[in-house]
Structure 1
Amino acid sequence: MSESLETPLSKVKRGPNRANYDKAKALDIIDASLMCHIAQVKDGQAFVTPTCHWREGDYFYWHAHSKARNVKGPIDEPQKVCINISLLDGLVMARSAMHHSVNYRSVTLFGVPELIEDKDEKVRQFKIFLDKVSPGRWEQLRPINDNEIKATGLVRIKIEEASVKFRDEPPIDDPDDNNWPVWAGVIPLERSWGSPQTDPIQQEEYLPATPPNAF
């Protein structure tokens, strides 16, 4: 049985029938997504910052400029951040406006960020991140230098307090509306990358035989 991530803070109050606290489900959604939104409070003001993320084991990582709010803020004033990841899977088209919805998968995590300062560990994590974005690309790149490592802040939280919410079903109309003469159902969202667009300053002799892989 998978570990539960439910705590008093992560327990879903609105729509608890769609909630789940299974750690394995949360990890699947984290790994299937590339971007998250990090919410934090600074001097009484709430801020939400979009950024890319990745995971290794039980830890959720993100990076930014070393002085960026979503890296520096929670370290200077240790406090929990709230992180949300959402994946839209389809439009749910009902027979009434009220019952239109979306199919989706979502994870909300809580934790106090931990700053990673060890140079070798930072480089190792940057490689893990880039391998998520484009598998195998790290080895092809100009090696990262000390200035870049220093300028990039790296933080993580342990994945131990979170909730999952999802919807994966057809429309739920009022029974009296079931014979209303309008199409109803789900329009799935299909994701795919387009054709790579070469940097216009790229010189022909340096072009690889095949384009890079993408997340």
Structure 2
Amino acid sequence: MPPVAFLHTHILVVVLFLVFFAIKAVLLLLNKRDTLDRMRSKTKIVDIVLGILILITGGYLLFLYSGRIPTYLIVKIVFVLLAIPLGIIGIKKESKGLTVLSLLIFLYVYGVAETNSLAMNKEEPSVAPITNTTTELPVKKAPEEITPAEAAQEEILNAMGETLMANAKAIYTQVCATCHGEDGGKGLGGAALLTQSQLTLNDRINVIEKGRGLMPAFGSQLTPQEAEALAAYTITLNTTN
């Protein structure tokens, strides 16, 4: 199973686990103990399976992660490992305090996962995303301030024909948009925010062909020309230039 499929499976089992836990927490807080006992009895096996799947898929994704593991991800893992037993004990002992504490930790972890930030302050793009296929690399620097590398990068972008860029956009929509978002600002599962990325064209091509973190390598699926065009297209998503 490819890493992206594992990521989606992990997200699905986490959401299901949280839904069941939230329902039980509400029943406990409303003193619906009979209903709670019946639900616990019916979902006992499901809870065990979901818990195991969370650990397996999460552990595998962590194993696949290349490079330095971000601090927010380490904190997220620690909090999840803390919240799961707290939630189980809270529901089993019918402790409202432990259950609410566990629920709050889960909500915080979800916020961290969505924003890739311990402060949950994901930065939104300040301008509308660029979507046309013939967009040139936006440059605000004076001509004398542009480095040779930036000039070469802009020249490559300008040389990309409309057909090639349209094809690159189609490839992006098919294989990249799920995690990066249509506008490059989604950041699912730690995916880079392309609206803010400052990687050069060559660096982007290298990441596309060889992969990084949870992102799989696409070098065997794309031609060098397609990889270059795709890298060029991602540059047009940057809204910070």
Name whichever structure is richer in strand by fraction.
Answer: 1
Q: TM-score, normalised by structure 2?
A: 0.21
- Structure showing the higher helix proportion among its residues: 2
| Structure with max Cα Rg | 2
TM-score where L is the length of structure 1: 0.23
Larger RCO (CA within 8 A; separation ≥ 6): 1
